[in-house]
Amino acid sequence: MKNWLPFEWIVALRFLKEGRMQTAFIMGGIAIGVAVIVFMSELLIGLQGNFIKRVLTGQSHVQLLNQKEQARPLREQEAATIQAPVQRVRSIDQWQSVKKTLQAMHGVQVVTPTLSGAALLTRGGGSRSVSVVGVEAEDYFRIVAIPEKIVKGQPRLWASDILIGTDLASDLGVSLGDKVRLDTGNGSAMVLTVSGIFDLGSRGANQRTTFVSLRTVQSLLGLPGGATTLEVTVIDVWAAEDMARQMTRMTGIEADSWIHNNAQFFASISAQTTANTAIRFFVGLSVAFGIASVLVVSVVQKSREIGILRAMGITQGKILRVFLLQGGLLGLGGSLIGCSLGATGLLLWEHFARNPDGTPMWVLEFHTALFGGAVVLAMLTGLLSALAPALRAARLDPVIAIRA
């Protein structure tokens, strides 16, 4: 079987076979290191993906908002005391043309207007202060999947319809088809029909947030044709901050990305990534030193054999390749075992790590690129670790080596 193998492969495999104990220990160490890297990397990817899904499931990637009104003194006075003005609900100027500009940008998926304001929701003798959000249902539901969060009724937003949260419905004793009165601060009021009850996964949001059609809110707030916000989704969620800056430059309207609005969350994600990278580095470093130490010992043990091979005319290059092959084979074998161990650990984690309701914390996805990268990295680590012992073996003087 080995007759067809090159000389370097035959010698490298024989050296590894003769040092079975050393080979087994170093491959075990490599396997554990690769398993740790694979397990932690996949776990972090799943954790980040789950967090991002939860964060972005209820908001757009970029929001364009009107700038707040600021008071200015009538004349310049160094010690002037300026009182901040009350912020009125104002529409974005010519938002229709701004929307067209944004839709033409590369990387933009959905652009839709919304109009938000405060209102008092009343039914019988009960009332609650709520935030009423006017949306164009077809486009807005592509950003925030309200239909998936409906627990009763349907996500219908005709002119006289309203969607309310589960906690708000419980507080007011409201069910499907009931009539509620929506009063705004400017004296406008309207009777609406509850067409659907949703659960956004947050008690506060379920108590305060209501959805109606955009034209209904425009009529209630006295802003015909107006919109206070433009909600935008982009293809690359991690490029949202750069896209927001570009939108501000193009339109002159303040744009906030989900990254800016969730700065603490984004900082924690970055910290997790940095910690994972550091762990992988030190695990790889320990594996490299382990391979190098084993091969150094092998060079010392095989000095006589190396000297005989050199005396028989074997070149330094072939001796060098013998030990480089050992390092690469150790890295390859250990990484394959490590990937299997890591995958097994991930399956066990997914099986045993459960939410209180019995569902998995999150569904893990096995990324082929990660496993392939771990194998390649382990092989490269093995080759680099074997370089110094290989050079030492190749430079051995045959006469001195045979006498040793």
- Identify any residues that bridge with 323 across adjacent strands, giving them in sequence order: none
Q: pLDDT of the chain along its 404 residues, tens only?
A: 455 678 788 888 887 888 788 888 888 888 888 898 898 888 888 887 777 777 777 789 999 987 665 555 555 555 555 555 544 567 898 999 999 999 999 999 999 999 998 999 999 888 999 999 999 999 999 999 999 999 999 999 999 999 999 999 999 999 999 999 999 878 889 999 999 999 988 888 899 999 999 999 999 998 999 999 999 999 998 899 999 999 999 999 999 998 888 877 777 777 878 888 888 888 888 878 887 887 777 777 777 777 777 777 778 888 888 888 888 888 888 889 999 999 999 888 888 877 776 777 777 778 888 888 888 888 888 888 888 877 877 777 776 666 65
Q: How far apart are CA 362 and CA 201, in angstroms?
A: 16
**Is 65 contained in some domain?**
no
Pair 181, 312 in one domain:
no
DSSP assignments along 268-299, one per residue = HHHHHHHHHHHHHHHHHHHHHHHHHHHHHHHH
- Centroid of chain to Cα 395: 50
Pair 297, 325 in one domain:
yes
Pair 298, 388 in one domain:
yes
Pair 101, 162 in one domain:
yes
Last residue of a domain, one of 230, 252, 274: 252
Whether the model pTM is above 0.75: no
Cβ distance 374 to 339 under 8 Å?
A: yes
**Is 244 contained in some domain?**
yes
What are the residue ranges of helices labelled H in 1-118?
7-18, 20-56, 95-103
Last residue of a domain, one of 192, 224, 252: 252
Domain count, the chain: 2
**Is 193 contained in some domain?**
yes
**Is 84 contained in some domain?**
no
Pair 285, 238 in one domain:
no
SS3 91: coil
Pair 184, 235 in one domain:
yes
pLDDT at 120: 94
pLDDT at 1: 45
Pair 41, 116 in one domain:
no
Residue 292, domain extent? 2-54+265-403
Cβ distance 51 to 137 under 8 Å?
A: no
Pair 296, 399 in one domain:
yes
Pair 109, 7 in one domain:
no
Helix (H) or strand (E) holding 129: strand 126-135
Pair 216, 330 in one domain:
no
**Is 59 contained in some domain?**
no
Last residue of a domain, one of 207, 231, 252: 252
Per-residue model confidence as pLDDT tens digits over 246-255? 999 999 999 9
Pair 244, 272 in one domain:
no
pLDDT at 41: 87
Pair 103, 168 in one domain:
yes
**Is 225 contained in some domain?**
yes
**Is 333 contained in some domain?**
yes
Per-residue model confidence as pLDDT tens digits over 65-122? 876 655 555 555 555 555 555 445 678 989 999 999 999 999 999 999 999 989 999 9
**Is 60 contained in some domain?**
no
